[in-house]
Amino acid sequence: MKKMAILTILLFLTIPCYARNTVEVGRVEGNVLHAIQSAWEIVDSTTSAGDEPNALGVTERTKLTVDAAAEGGDTEISTYRLPSKWSRVRFRAIGITDNGTRTDQIYLGSLGGEKDCELAYSGQLAWVIGTQKSIYDQITFTSGGTYVPKPGDVVTGVTSGETAVVVSTVLSSGAWADADAAGTVTYKSASGAFTSSELISVVDNFGVTDPNIYVHAASDLVDFELADTCVITAKTGIWVTAVSPADDTNAESEIDVKGADYMVIVTTTCSADSKLLVKGY
């Protein structure tokens, strides 16, 4: 009984210590609001090749219907689970061609732990890609190992010594498990040009180095330009702001998700290979 009492006391004392050591990404202390900290993520990657899908009809606006379409090969439909702490979402767009355009239809739903939900049409984002360079770049790769690069991993060219940070990877053929994966990887903050066909090593978020992970199939990066114009067509009361500066800076839009935890993006027009970025707070 004495041992049990001691263990109970230790457990009771440990719980508050753990709570204090846990990182809180959004909280209120007194009259100070600490906003949620999250990095920009790529929520959709779209190419200009081929026909783009139509906006979802009323009878198509359910999660299961969208899942079936995506599994059926409609790669222009992207889905995203909104973290529970997010109450609003910000968007940016980047593309590889000056003055390119993309148009996104945004749908929101609330799963609430279930397997299906209705999707409400929230509005349209019409982007124009500007001429200002972004920190994002893309390069093709083939696999030299079975490790799948994760967002936040730091890569180094074995020959060039150049570094960059992984944002996302898109698999076009093969499989990582078979060491023959091929596709594109998006970087940010690249230090310079990589050498053609050089091996790439990766340092993950835990500081573990995995050598010779994959091979760059090209010698340099494809630069992305930031969109500097965004025009919204939205349901009343949904969108919060849309910023379209005229001085070649970042266009952004912001939406109040109003408790939604599931988002669908349908890119209905696209004149340049481009990506949609998202972050929440």
- Claim to verify: residue 79 and residue 209 sit in the same structural domain: yes
- Claim to verify: residue 97 and residue 22 sit in the same structural domain: no
Q: What is the pLDDT of residues 82-94, one digit of tens each?
A: 998 899 999 999 9
- Claim to verify: residue 211 and residue 129 sit in the same structural domain: yes
Supply the pLDDT for residue 149.
Answer: 92
Supply the pLDDT for residue 11.
Answer: 37
Burial of 62 (0-12, 13-18, 19+ CB in 10 A): middle
Supply the pLDDT for residue 106.
Answer: 96
Q: 180-194 in b/e burial notation, b at 16+ Cβ within 10 A?
A: ebbbbbbbbebeeeb
- Claim to verify: residue 159 and residue 200 sit in the same structural domain: yes
- Claim to verify: residue 153 and residue 49 sit in the same structural domain: yes
Supply the pLDDT for residue 241.
Answer: 81
Supply the pLDDT for residue 19.
Answer: 32
Number of domains in the chain: 2
Contacts of 219 (CB under 8 A, 6+ apart): 193, 194, 195, 196, 197
Query: 276: which 2 tokens?
Result: 């949609």
In degrees and rounded to multiples of 5, residue 246 shows phi and psi of: -100, 10
- Claim to verify: residue 93 and residue 207 sit in the same structural domain: yes
Supply the pLDDT for residue 18.
Answer: 30
**Of 200, 168, 199, 195, whose CA–CA distance to 184 is shortest?**
168
- Claim to verify: residue 113 and residue 26 sit in the same structural domain: no
Domain interval for residue 237: 38-281
Average pLDDT, consecutive stretches of 10 residues, N- to C-terminus, the chain (281 residues): 42 35 48 70 88 91 92 78 92 89 96 95 92 90 89 94 94 90 94 94 87 90 91 82 75 92 95 94 86
Query: 182: which 2 tokens?
Result: 């091929």
Supply the pLDDT for residue 205.
Answer: 81
Distance CA 133, CA 98 (A): 10
Supply the pLDDT for residue 103.
Answer: 96
Supply the pLDDT for residue 60.
Answer: 94
- Claim to verify: residue 30 and residue 163 sit in the same structural domain: no
- Claim to verify: residue 15 and residue 70 sit in the same structural domain: no
- Claim to verify: residue 13 and residue 73 sit in the same structural domain: no
Supply the pLDDT for residue 132.
Answer: 82
